[in-house]
């Protein structure tokens, strides 16, 4: 029997465990959703799935996803995450995705909209590479000063997306959006941004360990990538992949055709 079990929480105790789990997950949750609200949402048509560590009355959730129905017959993910730094995080993510895809098919949903921060590379790689998703649009929250406080690309997960076209192109033809240099602790920091490129495909370097794991000053420096993404996505570029080169990571942006 597999050590992983994908299931809907069966009791209020398991819902409370899902509430507690939110304080330990990646990506971080600013305010955990209370157990009673999870209970109400699931009984009002939402989909709540968790990956548990086996079976029995003492089973504990390792990751979760909550999705709500959209007006266009699709689903939208509103809460998700896996316990921080678990070595089997990819396995848990795949279990959650498979369960959500099954639920979408059962409901006849056209697709799944999955908001994610492109600077959290584990999730960017999972969605853009593992799930074959593409992100043409985004949502963001600004401070009163106009500074971006949070950026979420809206990945569309659909069946039969096929092989990404950019993989058949030479990476030498991709133009870099930013330049970086080595920083303390074996990390890298951005030193410049080019916001006026017009090539078909671009590369945007992002922190290879994920934004939320960086020390404060370096994390602040990397949030400039959000403004770059805002500008290029407003001009018709979409996120289509994530490329790794040794200890570095790059988002692949591609000029999209058709409606955004």
Domains and CATH numbers, the chain: 5-157 (3.40.630.30), 165-255 (no CATH)
163 vs 51, residue with greater confidence: 51
> Who contacts 200 (Cβ-Cβ below 8 Å, separation ≥6)?
173, 254, 255
50 vs 245, residue with greater confidence: 50
**Per-residue confidence (pLDDT) for residue 164, from 0 to 100:** 74
Local confidence band at 161 (pLDDT 50, 70, 90 cut-offs): low
> Who contacts 162 (Cβ-Cβ below 8 Å, separation ≥6)?
132
Angle between helices 35-43 and 12-21 (to 10 degrees): 120
Q: Are strands 61-69 and 75-83 parallel, antiparallel or unpaired?
A: antiparallel
Q: Is the pTM of this model over 0.75?
A: yes
User: Does residue 13 surpass a pLDDT of 60?
Assistant: yes
Closest listed residue to residue 51, CA positions, set 85, 99, 11, 87: 99
**Per-residue confidence (pLDDT) for residue 224, from 0 to 100:** 95
The whole-number average pLDDT for the span 92-121 is 95
The whole-number average pLDDT for the span 55-68 is 89
User: Does residue 170 surpass a pLDDT of 80?
Assistant: no
User: Does residue 260 surpass a pLDDT of 50?
Assistant: no
**Per-residue confidence (pLDDT) for residue 160, from 0 to 100:** 66
User: Does residue 98 surpass a pLDDT of 90?
Assistant: yes
Radius of gyration of the chain, Cα coordinates, nearest whole angstrom: 19
User: Does residue 94 surpass a pLDDT of 70?
Assistant: yes
User: Does residue 1 surpass a pLDDT of 50?
Assistant: no
User: Does residue 246 surpass a pLDDT of 80?
Assistant: yes
User: Does residue 159 surpass a pLDDT of 90?
Assistant: no
């Amino acid at each position: 029997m597999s050590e992983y079990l994908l299931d809907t929480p069966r009791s209020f105790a398991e819902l409370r465990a899902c509430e507690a789990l939110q304080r330990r997950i990646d990506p971080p949750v600013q305010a955990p959703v209370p157990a009673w609200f999870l209970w109400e949402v699931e009984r009002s048509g939402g989909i709540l799935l968790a990956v548990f560590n086996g079976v029995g009355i003492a089973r504990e959730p390792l990751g979760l996803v909550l999705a709500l129905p959209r007006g266009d017959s699709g689903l939208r993910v509103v809460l998700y995450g896996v316990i921080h730094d678990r070595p089997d995080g990819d396995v848990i993510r795949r279990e959650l995705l498979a369960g959500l895809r099954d639920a979408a098919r059962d409901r006849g949903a056209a697709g799944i909209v999955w908001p994610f921060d492109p600077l959290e590379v584990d999730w960017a790689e999972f969605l853009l590479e593992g799930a074959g998703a593409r992100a043409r649009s985004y949502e963001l929250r600004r401070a009163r000063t106009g500074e971006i406080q949070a950026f979420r690309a809206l990945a569309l997960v659909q069946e039969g997306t096929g092989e990404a076209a950019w993989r058949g192109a030479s990476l030498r033809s991709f133009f870099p959006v930013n330049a970086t240099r080595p920083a303390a602790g074996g990390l890298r920091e951005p030193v410049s941004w080019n916001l006026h490129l017009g090539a078909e495909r671009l590369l945007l370097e992002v922190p290879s360990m994920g934004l939320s794991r960086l020390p404060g000053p370096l994390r602040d420096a990397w949030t400039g990538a959000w403004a770059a993404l805002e500008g290029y996505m407003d001009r018709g570029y979409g996120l289509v992949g994530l490329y790794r080169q040794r200890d570095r990571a790059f988002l692949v942006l591609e000029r999209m055709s058709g409606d955004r």
